[in-house]
Amino acid sequence: MTEPLDEARLHAFVGKMLGDLGGALSVPTVRIGIRLGLFDALAQAPASAEELAGRAGGLHERYVREWAMAQAANGYLAYDPASGRFSLSPEQAMVFVHRDSPVYLAGAFELAAAMIEAEPKVEACFRTGEGVRWGDHAGCLFCATGAFFRPGYVNNIVQNWIPALQGVEQRLRAGAAVADVGCGVGFSTLLMAKAYPESHFTGYDFHEPSIEEARRHAAEHGLAERVDFRVAKAKDIVETGFDLVTMYDCLHDMGDPRGCAAQMRRILVQGGTWMIVEPIAGDRPEDNLNPVGRLYYNASTMICVPTSLDQEVGEGLGAQAGEARLAQILHDGGFHTVRRATEGPFNMVLEAR
Helix (H, G, I), strand (E, B) or coil at 78: strand
pLDDT in tens, 259-279: 999 999 999 999 999 999 999
What pLDDT, on a 0 to 100 scale, did the predictor assign at position 139?
78
Query: Predicted confidence band at 294 (pLDDT cuts at 50, 70, 90)?
Result: very high
Domains and CATH numbers, the chain: 19-94 (1.10.10.10), 157-352 (3.40.50.150)
| Cα separation, 11 vs 287, whole angstroms | 27
The percentage of the chain sitting over the pLDDT mark of 70, rounded to a whole number, equals 100
DSSP 3-state of 217: helix
Kindly state the average pLDDT of the residues 102-130.
Answer: 96
Rounded distance between C-alpha atoms, residue 338 and residue 4, angstroms: 50
With beta carbons less than 8 A apart as the criterion, state whether 104 and 144 touch: no
User: Side-chain half-sphere of 208: how many Cα atoms within 13 Å?
Assistant: 0
Q: What are the beta bridge partners of residue 180?
A: 203, 246
Instruction: Tell me what the mean pLDDT of segment 222-232 comes to.
Output: 95
CA distances (Å), origin 111, targets 92, 157, 322: 20, 21, 23
Q: Is the pLDDT of residue 191 over 70?
A: yes
- Look at residue 146 in the predicted model and tell me its pLDDT: 85
Query: What is the spatial distance between Cα 167 and Cα 294, in angstroms, rounded to a whole number?
Result: 35
Q: The pTM is what?
A: 0.92
- Taking residues 162-181, what's their average pLDDT? 98
Give percent of the chain with pLDDT exceeding 90. 94
Residue 271 carries which side chain, given as an amino acid letter?
G
Average pLDDT score over residue span 313-339: 96
Angle at CA 131, nearest 5°, toward 278 and 113? Answer: 70
Of 25, 249, 295, 221, the C-alpha closest to 145 is 249
Tens of pLDDT, residues 21-44: 999 999 999 999 999 999 999 999
What does the alpha-carbon distance between residue 62 and residue 231 come to, in Å, rounded to a whole number?
Answer: 48
The predicted structure's pLDDT at residue 142:
80
Instruction: List all residues 6 or more positions away from 72 whose beta carbon is below 8 Å from its beta carbon.
Output: 78, 79, 86
pLDDT band at 141 (very low <50, low <70, confident <90, very high): confident
Q: Give the list of residues 6+ apart from residue 350 with CB closer than 8 angstroms, or none.
A: 275, 276, 277, 278, 323, 326, 327, 330, 338, 339, 340, 341
pLDDT-derived band at 228, boundaries 50, 70, 90: very high
Over residues 61-97, the pLDDT tens digits come to 999 999 999 999 999 999 999 999 999 999 999 999 9
pLDDT for residue 137 is more than 90: no
Length of the chain: 353
Mean pLDDT of 281-293: 96
Distance CA 113, CA 255 (A): 25
Determine the pLDDT at residue 143.
Answer: 85
The residue type of 12 is A
Q: What is the pLDDT of residues 44-68, one digit of tens each?
A: 999 999 999 999 999 999 999 999 9
pLDDT, the chain, mean: 96
Q: Where does the chain show beta strands of DSSP type E?
A: 78-80, 85-87, 177-181, 200-205, 227-231, 242-248, 268-279, 338-343, 347-352
What is the pLDDT at residue 138? 82
pLDDT confidence of residue 27? 97
Q: What is the pLDDT of residue 140?
A: 81
Q: Which of 207, 204, 184, 183 is nearest to 133 (CA)?
A: 207
Cβ(81)–Cβ(90) below 8 Å: no
pLDDT of residue 32: 98
pLDDT tier for residue 1 given thresholds of 50, 70 and 90? low
Confidence check: pLDDT of 2 > 80: no
Task: Give the torsion sign (CA, 284, 260, 158, 188).
Answer: negative
1/186: higher pLDDT = 186
